[in-house]
Amino acid sequence: MIARRTALLAGLALPALASARARAQDWPARPIRVVLPFAAGGSSDVAARLLAPRLSALLGQQIVIENRGGGGGNIAAELVARAAPDGYTLFQGNMGVLAVNPTLYRSLAWDPVTSFRPISHIMAVANILVCPAERPWRSVADLRAAMLAAPDTIRAGNSGPGSIGHLAVVLFDHLAGTKSVHVPYRGGGPMATDLIAGHLDYGFATTPTVQSAIEAGRLRALAIGTGTRSPLFPDLTTVAEAGLAGFEVSNWDSWLFPQGTPDAVVQRMAAAMRQALTEPELRAEYARRGLEAFSSSPPELAAAIQAETVRWAPMVRASGATPEG
């Protein structure tokens, strides 16, 4: 009886397996949707829209970018986690959403490990400490002195709870002994707009969202958040060099499929992304916007998510950071 039941189950599984393989071989047969967790205009949006036409040419189908901001990236993450694992819906997750949110939020309807299948990184980006041009501060020391003189009054913008900009401010306060008023937005673009308008006092913004405003004199760059200086701003000191030893914050974005997506689809998309991200023209376009194009294998991306989660979890807990800031 057991042998007959096993044979029956195997017989039922074979057509399903063959059907899945056939679908993977035919993929993609229609446009592919990439869901971004932030509003248009930020570095994630810029990177996706530069990459999409290259992948469309390689795969023979349109890559559609959909912005679903809000909830610190959790709305978009849950939407993709619940999507059919057929290769036609992807999530663009950055380091903040994938590695910080699981600690920052008490409960999530998705999990970075069990809800997704990693494909590849798409870029890394530096964060610059900026303030409106009309503010008097010319250095990290000036900003810190103003914050110490007037606690709980200096407003710091970020691109959403759990975003790298949010954590950068938390780390800044921790090392500087200050306390900022956190003001979350639904993406780097809206935050940069309010920074330029003077509605915020400072923020850590990605290079693409503020580079033109810095060059036009509407924002003042005080320092860069990476461990080394940026070739785009070689004279701009790092936050660590400016006196906050141990400060190092950078960010990356990646693409992931819903869990259950066939191996063949994951591998084909990873190969297409690797090819597109090594094209000199795309790399040059990224660089002009302050982005570093780079790809990775699915296992490498999975390892990066785990490593960053381990790195940030203790500090998120110790800082008392919450989704509200």
| Residues 152-178 pLDDT 10s | 999 999 887 767 888 899 899 999 999
Residue 130 and residue 200 in one domain = yes
Neighbours of 227 (CB within 10 A): 14
Residue 21 and residue 95 in one domain = yes
Residue 105 lies in a domain: yes
What is the span of the domain harbouring residue 116? 17-124+251-319
Residue 142 lies in a domain: yes
Q: Give CA–CA dist 52/112, Å, rounded.
A: 23
Q: Give CA–CA dist 86/262, Å, rounded.
A: 7
User: Is residue 9 over pLDDT 60?
Assistant: no
Residue 324 lies in a domain: no
pLDDT in tens, 54-63: 999 999 999 9
CATH code of residue 84:
3.40.190.150
CATH code of residue 144:
3.40.190.10
User: Is residue 1 over pLDDT 80?
Assistant: no
Given this model, what pLDDT does residue 189 score?
Answer: 86
Residue 23 and residue 92 in one domain = yes
**Does residue 87 contact residue 265 with C-beta atoms inside 8 Å?**
yes
Residue 166 and residue 207 in one domain = yes
Q: What is the pTM of this model?
A: 0.78
Higher-confidence position of 287 and 84: 84
The count of structural domains within the chain is: 2
**Does residue 160 contact residue 186 with C-beta atoms inside 8 Å?**
yes
pLDDT in tens, 203-245: 999 888 898 999 999 999 999 999 899 877 889 999 999 999 9
Given this model, what pLDDT does residue 22 score?
Answer: 45
Residue 274 lies in a domain: yes
Residue 189: closest CA among 34, 35, 36, 33: 36
**Beta strand 89-94 with 250-258: parallel, antiparallel or unpaired?**
antiparallel
**Does residue 220 contact residue 133 with C-beta atoms inside 8 Å?**
yes
Residue 231 lies in a domain: no
Residue 136 and residue 61 in one domain = no
User: Is residue 16 over pLDDT 80?
Assistant: no
Residue 104 and residue 25 in one domain = yes
User: Is residue 87 over pLDDT 70?
Assistant: yes
